[in-house]
């Protein structure tokens, strides 16, 4: 198992554009934690949509790179990619709102006292309302370790409401995280 470029303690945010290894690195962190501590108390929140653009898969689940242990709590959001899947800014906002509502239900269902939290594509849950960032980070603060990854790029847009909310959420996640790993 390759060494991680960060310790598995407190909070880590992994950011970068599409296809830079954010999900792979988060999967490696999950594997490292489970190898050392076991799956008890592990919470995996899968917020990533799987979208193909120009023949390239954007995003994707941790399961592309690892197997989430059966004994871990695994919440999977059937996420939309608001900017890629919509025909208008209004439709993008509607898809982002649906993602946020469904992500909220996953957080409600997650175990109250996690030991380790791994979040794949954290900002998908925050594209409708950056103020919801506090709910996610408060949950992660209950754990000994939290590793979150998030898309950070203007490649999918920058001047629309979804992108503005995403950037605001990223600023909040960066301010919260003990460390930020930038890829790409």
Residue 172 within any structural domain of the chain: yes
Per-residue pLDDT of 116-174, as tens digits, reads 999 999 999 999 998 999 999 999 999 999 999 998 976 555 678 888 999 999 999 99
pLDDT at res. 56: 66
3-class SS of residue 147: strand
Residue 164 within any structural domain of the chain: yes
What gap in Å lies between CA 15 and CA 122, rounded to an integer?
10
Mean pLDDT value across residues 64-74: 96
User: How many secondary structure helices (H) and strands (E) does the chain include?
Assistant: 5, 8
Residue 3 within any structural domain of the chain: no
pLDDT at res. 82: 83
Residue 2 within any structural domain of the chain: no
Residue 151 within any structural domain of the chain: yes
By C-alpha distance, which of 122, 127, 135, 129 is closest to 174? 122
Angle at CA 183, nearest 5°, toward 182 and 184?
A: 130
Band (32; pLDDT cuts 50, 70, 90): very high
Q: Which domain holds residue 63?
A: 10-182
Look at the chain and report how many structural domains it folds into. 1
Domain containing residue 41: CATH number? 3.40.50.300
Residue 5 within any structural domain of the chain: no
By C-alpha distance, which of 28, 71, 18 is closest to 48? 18
pTM above 0.85, yes or no: yes
By C-alpha distance, which of 13, 146, 118 is closest to 62? 118
HSE-CB at 120 with a 13 A cutoff on CA atoms is: 34
pLDDT at res. 86: 74
Residue 133 within any structural domain of the chain: yes
pLDDT at res. 58: 64
């Amino acid at each position: 198992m390759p060494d991680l470029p960060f310790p598995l303690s407190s909070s880590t945010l992994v950011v970068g554009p599409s296809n830079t290894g954010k999900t792979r690195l988060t999967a490696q962190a999950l594997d490292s934690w489970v190898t050392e501590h076991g799956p008890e108390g592990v919470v995996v929140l899968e917020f990533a949509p799987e979208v193909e653009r120009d023949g390239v898969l954007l995003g994707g689940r941790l399961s592309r790179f690892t197997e989430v242990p059966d004994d871990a709590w695994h919440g999977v959001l059937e996420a939309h990619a608001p900017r890629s899947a919509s025909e208008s800014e209004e439709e993008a906002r509607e898809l982002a709102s649906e993602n946020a509502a469904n992500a909220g239900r996953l957080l409600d269902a997650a175990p109250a006292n996690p030991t380790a939290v791994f979040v794949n594509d954290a900002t998908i849950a925050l594209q409708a309302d950056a103020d919801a960032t506090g709910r996610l980070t408060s949950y992660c603060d209950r754990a000994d370790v939290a590793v979150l990854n998030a898309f950070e790029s203007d490649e999918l847009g920058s001047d629309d409401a979804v992108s503005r909310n995403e950037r605001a959420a990223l600023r909040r996640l960066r301010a919260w995280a003990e460390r930020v790993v930038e890829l790409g």
